[in-house]
Structure 1
Amino acid sequence: MYDIEGLTPEQTERIRKTRERVIDSIGKNMDLYGVTLSIGHLYGYMYFKQGPVTLDELSQSLGMSKTSMSTGVRTLLDLKMIEKVWGKGTRKDLFEPSSDWYQTFSDYFSIKWRKAVESNMNVMNRSLKEIQDMKHEYGDNEQVTALLANDEQKIADAMKYYRWLLRLIEALETGKIYELIPKEE
């Protein structure tokens, strides 16, 4: 299961326990990426696997159905955490984990954050337009005008944050983030 042939049973067991502890930790933390514990374990297993694997190998090694395995692999592909690779002499799809965790983080959070920010900014802009319309309509009512001005300021403050977040996303996408916080080599 863990590509550790030729070792003594004691060596194999110690290495297995060490790897499983890391795999479990990876699995538990994958909720950060919005995936289940089992998909996190799948990624952890693939991370320690020496070379690419097929769905059949994954299913057999992890004791999961091929359907569940296929769903997990598709999720990891969508997150760009694994890649489909070519293998000489095989017709089956082969998969291996992405080796660049920095890029995986950048890709995932850039995509998720951009989608959320754009959605929120659209809502905010629509609300600002409605506030402007109401200010015009209720301009003679000081209480309503004051309330609308307060709401308008809160939305303007939120928009500053979203514009900042877009700059952070751009820094992730372009790699400029690594000028501020260098990767460890």
Structure 2
Amino acid sequence: MKGNERLEIARKRIVESIAQNIHLYGLPTSAGRQYGVMFFQDRPLTLDDMSEKLGMSKTSMSTSVRALSESKLVERVWERGVRKDLYKAKDDWYQNFIDMFSIRWRKSVTTHSSAIRRSIREIEQLISEDILSEELLDEAKSDLEKLIYIRDYYEWLDRLIDAFENHDIFDLVPIKK
């Protein structure tokens, strides 16, 4: 087997591995294959280039590249004299993970924190009105303790996201050089 064939086999293995794991980013396997192909290219690709390499429709490539862009895994680039849109895989996998983690978890933290704050206010108000039976008052106090616990969790998670975004995480878990 020739060297270029062996290299292609090694690349295809990684492309398929990326395709099988891209669901962690909330993306379909086709987007993973597209990212994998772009990752191994030393130059930006057009949708036509990707379509030819993967044997998929240009429409499918467009949909996937949009999803990859929104996940910050690829970026559109400009080259002088090229009229078609060009795309390049972002090859900083540490930053890719940070972006994916931060986008997804920040949204979750915001949604949950808002609901928790509102529920805490309502339960505190209910407790302060002194209109509850002893049994219901105990339930309300128990619920309040649980809400304070999960509020503290989401505040911790928010700080964890900050640690990823400002790269403090690398002080705790250094990148192997």
Using the size of structure 2 for normalisation, the TM-score is 0.94
Q: Give the match for residue 115 of structure 1.
A: 107
- Measured in 2, the distance between the counterparts of 1:21 and 1:59 equals 19
Deviation at 1:130, TM superposition (A): 1.9
Distance 1:140 1:75, change over 3 A: closer
Distance 1:26 1:99 in 2: 13
Q: Which amino acid counterpart does residue 129 of structure 1 have in structure 2?
A: R
The runs of 5 or more residues in structure 1 that have no matched partner are 1-8
CA contact (8 A) 1:55 1:66 kept: yes
Counterpart position of 1:95: 87
In the TM superposition, what is the alpha-carbon distance from 1:48 to its structure 2 partner? 1.0
What's the counterpart of residue 6 of structure 1? none
Structure 2 unaligned blocks of 5 or more:
none
**Contact 1:54-1:93 within 8 A present in 2 as well:** yes
Pick from 146, 155, 163 the counterpart of residue 155 of structure 2: 163
Q: Does 1:80 align with 2:83?
A: no
Off by >3 Å, runs of 4+ in structure 1: 136-140
Tell me by how many angstroms 1:162 deviates. Answer: 0.5
Instruction: Check whether the contact 1:53–1:96 (CA below 8 A) recurs between aligned residues.
Output: yes
Give the counterpart letter for 1:97 in structure 2: A
- Could you tell me how far apart the structure 1 residues matched to 2:40 and 2:132 are? 69
The Cα of 1:179 is off from its aligned counterpart by 1.1
TM-score normalized by structure 1?
0.90
Corresponding position of 2:61: 69
Distance 1:63 1:138, change over 3 A: farther
Q: Secondary structure at the match of 2:88?
A: strand
In structure 1, distance between residues paired with 2:134 and 2:91: 60
CA drift of 1:100 comes to 1.0
Percent of aligned positions that are identical: 43
Distance 2:78 2:128 in 1: 63
Counterpart in 1 of 2:21? Answer: 29
Q: Residue 139 of structure 1: CA displacement? A: 3.8
Distance 1:34 1:47 in 2: 18
**Structure 2 counterpart of 1:181, one-letter code:** V
Cα RMSD of the aligned pairs, angstroms, is 1.4
Residues 16, 138 of structure 1: alpha-carbon distance in 2 compared, 3 angstrom cutoff = same
CA contact (8 A) 1:110 1:173 kept: yes
Question: Alignment length, in residue pairs?
Answer: 177
